[in-house]
C-alpha cells in the first residue's frame, strides 16, 4: 500500500482479507472487521479461494441454520451444490447469483458435486450476507437463483460492469433485495477508470489487480471503504477484477453471532437454543449430518 497525502483520495479505510479455513478451502474474511462491521446492510464478506484441490476432495459445508439475513453467493470458478430446508437443489456456477433469504429461519448445505470432486475441484468466489431490515427479519424464508444471462451487463472503453443486486448505471438486477443496496462486479483494463455508483455507504474490493485513488493504491484481497459523498473515480493500474458493495445503513445496530444476524440479542439466543434442540427444519437429501452448536451466544457491541 502506498499513500501520498498531497493527492486527495476517496478511500477512507482499507481492510485486508484475513485467512480462515472453510473445510478444505481457505477463505479471506473481510467483514465483519474490527475497524468496520458493516457497509450499508452488508454484514459479512468472504473471498473463497482461489483453490485447486486434489481429486476426491471438496467443499462439505454441512447443514447449518441462518436467521435475519440473506446469503449471496457468486462464483468466478468452480461449482457448489446448494440444498436448503425449502427443498431447493441448485448447482451454483460462475456468473450466476444465488440469493437465499433466511428470514425467520432456514437451513442449508454447500457441497462440491460428486462429478466435480472426482476431477479435482477448483473454487473461487464470494459469499456475502445482507442483514435484513427489522420489518423483514421474521419474514418467510425464500430462495432464488439468477442465471448468468439474467444479470444486467454494461460496457464502456476498458470497463465491463455487471449489476448483481440493486440498481446502478440505469439498470436493475433481478435479485430480491429488502432494503436499498447495490452490488456490482467490474473488469477494468490497465489505465481504465471506474466511477462508483452513489450510495450512502460504499466499499470496493479488489479480487485481482490494483486500484488507485489519488495517491493511494488498493492491492488485491483488500477492501477500500470510500468516503461518504466522495464521487471520485478509481483507476486500475493493472488489469483488475473488483466488486463494489454499498447501500443505506439499517436503522438499528445488528448483532452477529455464528450464522445468525438480528437486531435482537434475545432472538439470536432463541435461535441458538432451537438449533441445539434440533427444532429447525431438515435439508431434504442432506439429513444425516449437521454442524452442531459448540458454544453459547456471546455479544460484543454491534
| C-alpha distances in Å from residue 52, one per residue of 26, 35, 123, 251 | 11, 31, 7, 41
Residue carrying the nine cell digits 432463541: 270
Residue carrying the nine cell digits 483494463: 189
Write the Ramachandran bin of 290: left for phi over 0, alpha for psi from -120 to 50, otherwise beta.
beta
Over 116-181, what HEC string results?
Answer: HHHHCCEEEEEEEEEECCHHHCCCCCEEEEECHHHCCEEEECCEEEEEEEEEECCEECCCCCCCCE
Tell whether 110 is in a known binding site: yes
**Nearest alpha carbon to residue 40 among 265, 262, 301, 244:** 244
Q: DSSP letter string over 22-89? A: ETTEEEEEEESBTTBS-BTTEEEEEEEEEEEPPTT---EEEEEEEBSEEEEEEEEEE-EEEEETT--E
Q: Say if residue 52 is preceded by a cis peptide, omega within 30 of 0.
A: no
**Nearest alpha carbon to residue 258 among 284, 283, 245, 276:** 276
d(CA 100, CA 144): 6
DSSP 8-class letter at 67? B
Tell whether 64 is in a known binding site: yes
Tell whether 108 is in a known binding site: yes
d(CA 271, CA 22): 23
Tell whether 273 is in a known binding site: no
HSE-up (13 A, CA, CB side) for residue 197: 25
> Which residue numbers belong to the known binding site?
64, 66, 108, 110
In the annotated binding site for Fe cation, the residues are 64, 66, 108, 110
Amino acid at each position: 500500500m502506498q499513500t501520498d497525502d498531497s493527492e486527495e483520495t476517496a478511500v477512507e479505510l482499507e481492510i485486508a482479507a484475513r485467512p480462515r479455513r472453510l473445510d478444505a478451502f481457505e477463505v479471506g474474511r473481510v467483514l465483519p472487521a474490527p475497524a468496520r462491521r458493516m457497509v450499508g446492510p452488508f454484514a459479512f464478506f468472504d473471498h473463497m479461494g482461489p483453490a485447486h484441490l486434489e481429486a476426491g476432495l471438496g467443499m462439505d459445508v454441512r447443514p447449518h441454520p441462518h436467521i435475519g439475513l440473506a446469503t449471496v453467493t457468486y462464483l468466478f470458478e468452480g461449482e457448489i451444490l446448494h440444498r436448503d430446508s425449502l427443498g431447493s437443489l441448485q448447482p451454483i456456477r460462475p456468473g450466476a447469483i444465488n440469493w437465499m433469504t433466511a428470514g425467520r429461519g432456514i437451513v442449508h448445505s454447500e457441497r462440491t458435486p460428486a462429478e466435480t470432486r472426482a476431477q479435482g475441484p477448483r473454487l473461487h468466489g464470494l459469499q456475502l450476507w445482507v442483514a435484513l431490515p427489522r420489518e423483514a427479519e421474521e419474514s418467510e424464508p425464500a430462495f432464488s437463483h439468477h442465471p448468468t444471462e439474467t444479470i444486467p451487463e454494461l460496457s464502456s472503453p476498458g470497463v465491463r460492469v455487471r449489476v448483481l443486486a440493486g440498481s446502478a448505471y440505469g439498470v436493475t438486477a433481478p435479485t430480491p433485495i429488502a432494503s436499498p443496496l447495490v452490488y456490482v462486479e467490474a473488469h477494468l483494463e490497465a489505465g481504465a477508470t471506474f466511477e462508483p455508483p452513489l450510495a450512502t455507504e460504499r466499499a470496493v474490493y479488489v479480487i485481482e489487480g490494483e486500484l488507485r485513488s489519488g495517491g493511494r493504491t488498493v492491492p488485491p484481497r483488500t477492501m477500500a471503504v470510500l468516503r461518504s459523498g466522495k464521487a471520485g473515480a478509481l483507476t486500475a493500474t493493472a488489469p483488475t477484477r473488483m466488486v463494489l458493495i454499498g447501500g443505506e445503513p439499517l436503522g438499528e445496530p445488528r448483532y452477529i453471532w455464528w450464522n445468525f444476524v438480528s437486531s435482537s440479542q434475545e432472538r439470536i439466543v432463541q435461535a441458538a437454543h432451537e438449533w441445539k434442540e434440533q427444532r429447525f427444519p431438515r435439508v431434504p437429501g442432506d439429513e444425516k449430518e449437521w454442524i452442531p452448536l459448540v458454544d453459547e451466544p456471546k455479544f460484543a457491541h454491534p
